[in-house]
Amino acid sequence: MTDPMLIDADQLRAEVRDKYRHVALAPAAEHHFHTGRRHAALHGDDQAHVGALPDRAVESFAGVANPFSLAPLEPGACVVDVGSGAGFDSFVAAHHVGFAGRVTGVDMTPEMLAKSRATRELLDLPHVEFREGFAEALPVDDASADVVISNGVFNLCPDKRAAFDEVFRILRPGGILQFADIANGRDVPDDALRNIDLWTG
Amino acid sequence: MLEEVGFVDVAIGPPVDTFGGANGEANARAFEVYGYAFRARKPRT
């Protein structure tokens, strides 16, 4: 766990929100990471399904790997997507679980929430919803999720233990956490951990 | 950390060069950063 004292959590949250506001509004602009369909293809996402999604559902995708690569989701599952962004992984999850299942995306960036909600309306997916919230305080009931997914989000949380504790709280006994995120093979020195620009770029 | 929280059956997928060719590639290379898929289960009891 990163020592929360190394950085200002509120400042990091503001920087992350600003970064992903830009990804929502200008997905094709220069970012420090790849975005969009080619990036999803690199991760091996289901191209038959992804190809059928409209551009607005895919263009702001900025995940770091494929959270569905280790196992598909079961039809009928109740899924929570932590840091759902513009909704790409939520829409893939909705395809996996079908209309008997349910997908709830949670994100803290208003522009991402507006985009995901508009796409959900466009796709007419009544079993998908998006809520405003933080990974460390998920607006989801205890033991209510069969599966929690996430993609490239926990690394941006200053208190990762608090975020994983929240995931544990909302999962039912026997529930599954399957997510994608980055990990470093080389230790990051404290001065780099204090550099908020490195967290977001 | 996942096991500290209480998760079991933790599995990790192969590395993905998610920053390759992107503007963030230099920083990613400096700290050997790759993307991974993770899977873990909350115990039934």
Residue closest to A96 by CA, chosen among A164, A28, A18, A178: A178
**Whether B32 and A42 lie within 8 Å, measured CB to CB:** no
Global model pTM greater than 0.95: no
Q: Is the ipTM of this complex over 0.85?
A: yes
Tens of pLDDT, residue by residue over A157-184, are 888 999 999 999 999 999 999 999 998 8
Q: Which two tokens stand for residue A122?
A: 């466009």
Chain A residues within an 8 Å CB radius of B33: 182-185
Give how far Cα A57 sits from Cα of A74, A124, B27, Å.
22, 13, 28
Average pLDDT, chain A: 88
**Whether B39 and A184 lie within 8 Å, measured CB to CB:** no
Q: How far apart are CA A170 and CA A139, in angstroms?
A: 9
- Contact present, B15 and B38 (Cβ < 8 Å): no
